[in-house]
A and B are shown apart, each in its own frame.
Chain A
Amino acid sequence: MSVDIATIKRVATLSRIHVEPAALPGLAQEINAILGWIEQLSEVDTTGVEPMAGGGATALRWRADVVTDGGQAEAILANAPDREGEYFGVPKVVE
């Protein structure tokens, strides 16, 4: 599978990364080289193999569905690039 410029453009949009049009061909070439190398996995017979999702052997732990934290608006907003009161500030979203 080889990706074209339109695909790279779509992936950049999905990634929410602005890419200058002039940089698209170079990026496509780099990504194609990596994807071409990854392609060797198709040699491996994985019929019936259960996919391994996590890094550990054990199932994830459950915890009680209770509030354990909260009331820290100032700590949470301390690094905000823009804030209004107890809210994060962003450009107008609703027209």
Chain B
Amino acid sequence: MRPTDLSLAQARLALDARQISARELTQAYLDAIAALNPRLNAYITVTAEAALTAADAADTKLAAGQGGPLEGIPLGIKDLFCTAGTRTTAASRILGDFTPPYESTITRQLLRDGAVFLGKLNLDEFAMGSSNATSAFGPVENPWSRRNDPDTRLVPGGSSGGSAAAVAARIALGATATDTGGSIRQPAAFCGVAGIKPTYGRCSRFGVVAFASSLDQAGPIARDVMDCAVLLRSMSGFDPQDSTSVDMAVPDFAAAVGRGVRGMRIGIPQEYRMAGMPAEIEALWSQGIAWLRDAGASIVDVSLPHTKYALPTYYIVAPAEASSNLARYDGVRFGARVAGADLTELYEKTRAAGFGAEVKRRIMIGTYVLSAGYYDAYYLKAQQVRALIKRDFDLAWEQCDALLTPATPSAAFGLDEKQDDPLAMYLNDIFTVTANLAGLPGMAVPAGLDGQGLPLGLQIIGRPFDEEGVFAVAGAVERAAGFSALPGVIA
């Protein structure tokens, strides 16, 4: 068995038993990155030297029996998390060579627990996208390809495309990611790996480049459900530096993975049965329902009547918040600057040159819906519909303990498909965006392959702060699915 074959949980045991050193494990990942990243483009920045130094420090601690829960575990960090002394780009030209003088709370906690950082992972610019194609550092390739069409390069999903592709290709043992409308769950599903967006407030947003602050939430992408549980525990917890961070104890998520679903009520939202849904997605969903029934859960039909309004609501709320958050990129305090005759021209030229097309589009939509005369018709209306979407879930929880849905409306698509039509791209998040609007935990688990041999995922949505329930259901789905297929491009 090669070091990169070990899951995070297996690597933990091997490191603790000194069957492998942190340096050997880290070196194996750095070698895999050197071999595969030129093709996949999953990393924007690789911090090889720092990783080996951290691995040596981990070995010293492990030898003394003092290791943390992630001691010596090599991770990739989405390049939206500020890392002190390491360039952070948000995959945008406008940040230039921005090198944060401080560490995000989540990466600080991962370092506290002994993790080794391999580098910074590619993403859609400012996390705005569903294919990783909006990155200023080029697209990421999905390590999977279609069985009968192996030459067509597929997208890894987005915005955490680098995170999902790196975990799937085994050039990171686990990764941080963020999810504003589906940016953890959709790429995880496209790449055949697991990913969880926890409840809003569970993970600190301090030091994470902001997109839409009332929707943004960080979480892990990892090889399986257990690895996600281990990573989420280290990432979670109260942080006074984020005013929306919730002061609640962090449960032992890993203990919930094997708990089973006997006695749980699993809701099946009827409105997620969309017209034109591919038969394979529908079949996988039915299979998932059967798995959970066989595992002892009771299946309940539930209704979330405002589901069809979730995406249009999102495309008011998210751009509105983005237009405000991205006002800080003005060429004055950090990042790139384009000179102008006066300050206004400096702002306008800097932002025209620094932002990509999708980011500009969203800033302008956000500015429009917040502008005088349109605020009530668009922004206020969207906030009201958002309240109704949340109420749909509140009512559903009277009937069930968790929901099972498909993760995405399709498998991964080609790098050249859907890129010209923003609306077609937005529909990728149709099953995931509701959890962001309602602030709920949601997880994608690989559950099967489509006819082309591409992975498909199922999604579990849970009650607020019941990530343990989500992990219990996800664990049951994972055991029943026995998903063991591997992508063509792998370390």
Q: Is the CB of B385 within 8 A of A44?
A: yes
Answer yes or no: B147 CB below 8 A from chain A CBs. no
In the complex, how many angstroms separate the beta carbon of B112 from the nearest chain A beta carbon?
20
Q: Is the CB of B377 within 8 A of A37?
A: no
Answer yes or no: A11 CB below 8 A from chain B CBs. yes
Residues of A contacting B336 in the complex (Cβ-Cβ under 8 angstroms): 81
Q: Is the CB of B367 within 8 A of A15?
A: yes
Q: Is the CB of B214 within 8 A of A37?
A: no
Interface residues on B, range: 35 or more
Question: B216, B312, B368: which has the most chain A beta carbons within 10 Å?
Answer: B368
Q: Is the CB of B387 within 8 A of A91?
A: no
Chain A binder among B20-28, B259-267, B325-333: B325-333
Q: Which residue of B lies closest to A19 (CB)?
A: B352
Q: Is the CB of B378 within 8 A of A38?
A: yes
Taken together as a complex, chains A and B put the C-alpha atoms of A75 and B422 apart, in Å, by 39
Q: Is the CB of A14 within 8 A of B312?
A: no
In the complex, how many angstroms separate the beta carbon of A9 from the nearest chain B beta carbon?
11
Q: Is the CB of A52 within 8 A of B390?
A: yes
Q: Is the CB of A52 within 8 A of B386?
A: yes
Q: Which of B306-335 contact A (CB under 8 A)?
A: 306, 308-309, 312-313, 315-316, 323, 327, 330-335
Q: Which of A1-34 contact B (CB under 8 A)?
A: 1, 3, 7-8, 11-12, 14-19, 27, 30-31, 33-34
Question: B102, B330, B333, B345: which has the most chain A beta carbons within 10 Å?
Answer: B333
Q: Is the CB of A90 within 8 A of B361?
A: no
Q: Is the CB of A53 within 8 A of B367?
A: no
Answer yes or no: A80 CB below 8 A from chain B CBs. yes
Chain A binder among B149-157, B228-236, B238-246: B238-246
Q: Is the CB of B243 within 8 A of A60?
A: yes
Q: Is the CB of B309 within 8 A of A61?
A: no
In the complex, how many angstroms separate the beta carbon of A93 from the nearest chain B beta carbon?
6
**What 6 pairs between A and B have smallest CB-CB spacing?**
A51-B383, A79-B334, A81-B337, A46-B384, A55-B214, A18-B348
